[in-house]
Structure 1
Amino acid sequence: MELKEAKKIIQAGLTWANWTSEQQEAMKIALHSIAKVEEQQEVKELGEIKASLKERKEQMSIMLTPTHKKEIRKIADSLNISVSELIGYWVDQYPLN
């Protein structure tokens, strides 16, 4: 049974069924649980959409002196990012258009 169907059935039961107060309380808890599951599914779907829209990275080799290599790693480490992210950030600061 789909979540929407279950939700409709429970809501109809709360409205029309002759349930005891314990049964009604149980169904309210079930509705709350269904809402949480729906919320989690929406968050998951948004994450999947963001991941699919994110530009894919491609590998590229660059030549650096040993000193420059150490320095760029120090800078990236101090910012808690990768060297690739650091270079990407620098490139973004100087758009050609």
Structure 2
Amino acid sequence: MKRSLEQIDYKEGTEALAIFAKALSHPTRIAILKHLDKQSCCYTGDLVHVFPLAQSTISQHLKELKNAGLIQGELNPPKIKYCIDQENWKIAKTLFQQFFD
């Protein structure tokens, strides 16, 4: 079950911030998020054409972003469509803003 920002306490907030920060610690993941923000959604194969990386490498970065909750995947066999998880993205932006303020 997802929780809203108002329901997250200090401990959960700092843990969530650390998870988001770790997911954003690689330049390719930042580039993937920027691309998804512009495209709304795309498939793994689409990202292989955008970034000069192997599909397995792209898939690993998508897995990290998904595990952190920053993106979500929708299975459309045989492909997976990825997009930004807007609720968690809003939480991440707020937590980072609070941290930097």
Q: Could you say whether these structures have the same fold, taking a TM-score greater than 0.5 normalized by the shorter chain as the test?
A: no
Normalised by the length of structure 1, the TM-score is 0.27
Normalised by the length of structure 2, the TM-score is 0.27
Question: Would you tell me which structure has more helix in proportion to its own residues?
Answer: 1
Question: Would you tell me which structure has more strand in proportion to its own residues?
Answer: 2
Is the radius of gyration larger for structure 1 or structure 2? 1
